[in-house]
A and B are shown apart, each in its own frame.
Chain A
Amino acid sequence: MIIYGTAILAVCHLSGIFLGDLLGTLLGVKTNVGGVGIAMILLICARLWLHKRGLMPQTTEMGVGFWGAMYIPVVVAMAATQNVVAALRGGPVALLAALGSVLVCACFVSMINRTERDAEAGDAAATETEAETDNRVATHRA
């Protein structure tokens, strides 16, 4: 039954939030520490455990899958209920923080991927300058 899946998700969610609150209290901060992350790990474990025992039929999976698919719509609703007027008073913080992190990450991706042995490595040097220009154009347009 579909509700089994949703119930498993609910139990993992509640346990994760509870453990997050507990961890927060133990650490002396009055906040939830990684509750959602803990819930996600619990769900992955629960899925593996149930799957191994053949207790995870398709309909049960659908009970979780539905909520997983709902996360973009829920985030849209969340965006629509934020205090955007106040955020805009924050000025160019969002733009700069985003641009900065994209540039830093792009450099690291490029650096790590350059360590990979590649049959096509020969043509890499030739296109490098051009690619960097591309990257600059990309960030400008964004």
Chain B
Amino acid sequence: MLELLEKTAKHNGLILAFAVVGLVMIVSMQLSRRLTMGRVHGSAIAILIGLLLAYWGGVQTGGKQGIGDVSLFAGLGLMGGAMLRDFAITATAFEVHVSEARKAGLVGVVALLLGTVLPFIVGASVAWSFGYRDAVSITTIGAGAVTYIVGPVTGAAIGAPSEIMALSIATGLVKSIMVMVGTPMAARFLRLRTPRSAMVFGGLAGTVSGVSAGLAATDRRLVPYGALVATFHTGLGCLLGPSLLFFVTRSLVG
């Protein structure tokens, strides 16, 4: 009986992965609502649980693919692999409305560029000061400081090893959680009052989950403006990370 169940699971790896991730999401949404009163977005908690599962898998098997090395959960490797990940990220561009985006205007573009370049410089500098000397690692960690999507997309494109990718995701995740929790508290310092200020914030803070959760907890009316600019953030980061930023980094560190 148990053997038969295991066989079903192993032969339907990707389908099992959908069920497992669905379970993780529902648990995270409940935790978000009950424990943090919606202040920390459910998706951030879900990713945190994902990283914990990866840690458990790594300790259990000694492998490099987190829980994907546990044969029962090999399907998660397919679901979270480069193919489906890039496919899903590309699809998010569909939600961008160009006419609305034009309203953000010049200030939104400036904020977006700063929001990509500044975190990258900080992340890359921290990586450098901790002894990472190769352009691939420095770029991947720097890109992780932009968002937890830009990090792995950049890392995958320039061929970063898995532990650097995990570090990069962890950086973006910590940043996202800081933005979610910190935004309502720092709202006055940030001058978050008008749609324009929300767009500036969305461009500079970047992570869509961080921005939308942070603004929702500050002032619900500001959410669409911040999220609108932030949706461009991932695309811009994915475009600049493996290209311009990588080349500049490589020319600097040799």
Contacts and interface: CB of A to CB of B under 8 A. Distances in A.
Interface string A18-56: 001001000101011111111111011001100000000
A79 B119 contact: no
Contact of B153 (A13, A36, A90): A36
A110 B193 CA distance: 11
Given A75-B85, A142-B177, A80 B53 contact: yes
By DSSP majority rule, is chain A's interface helix, strand, loop, or mixed? Answer: helix
B90 A83 contact: no
A64 B177 contact: no
Contacts of A108: 114, 118, 204
Interface string B86-99: 11111111111010
Nearest to B232: A40
Contacts of A79: 47, 50-51, 54, 80, 169, 173
Nearest to A63: B91
B227 interface: no
- Specify which of B47, B166, B201 lies most central, judged by the most chain A CB atoms within 10 Å of its CB: B166
- Specify which of B51, B52, B115, B127 lies most central, judged by the most chain A CB atoms within 10 Å of its CB: B51
Interface in A54-82: 61, 64-68, 70-82
Contacts of A1: none
Given A67-B91, A97-B145, A113-B191, A88 B55 contact: yes
Contacts, number: 348
Interface residues of B, number: 116
A114 B192 CA distance: 10
A105 interface: yes
A52 B187 CA distance: 40
B135 to A, nearest CB: 10
Given A33-B242, A64-B91, A67-B88, A87 B166 contact: yes
B182 to A, nearest CB: 4
B84 A90 contact: no
B193 A94 contact: no
Nearest to A88: B55
B86 A98 contact: no
Contact of B80 (A32, A74, A87, A124): A74
A75 B190 contact: no
B115 A105 contact: yes
A78 B152 contact: yes
Interface string B165-209: 111011111110111011101101111111011001100111001
A97 B91 contact: no
A36 B92 CA distance: 11
A141 B181 contact: yes
A19 to B, nearest CB: 12
Given A83-B58, A83-B65, A20 B167 contact: no
B9 interface: no
B167 A93 contact: yes
Given A84-B55, A94-B170, A16 B118 contact: no
A101 B119 contact: yes
B239 to A, nearest CB: 3
A82 B173 CA distance: 13
B22 to A, nearest CB: 7
Given A12-B90, A75-B85, A104-B118, A80 B238 contact: no
22 contacts: A10-B87, A16-B90, A34-B240, A36-B153, A41-B93, A44-B93, A71-B89, A79-B47, A82-B165, A83-B166, A84-B55, A101-B123, A108-B114, A108-B204, A110-B189, A113-B192, A116-B194, A134-B189, A135-B182, A135-B189, A138-B183, A138-B186
The 3 closest A-B pairs by CB, nearest first: A37-B239, A86-B163, A77-B80
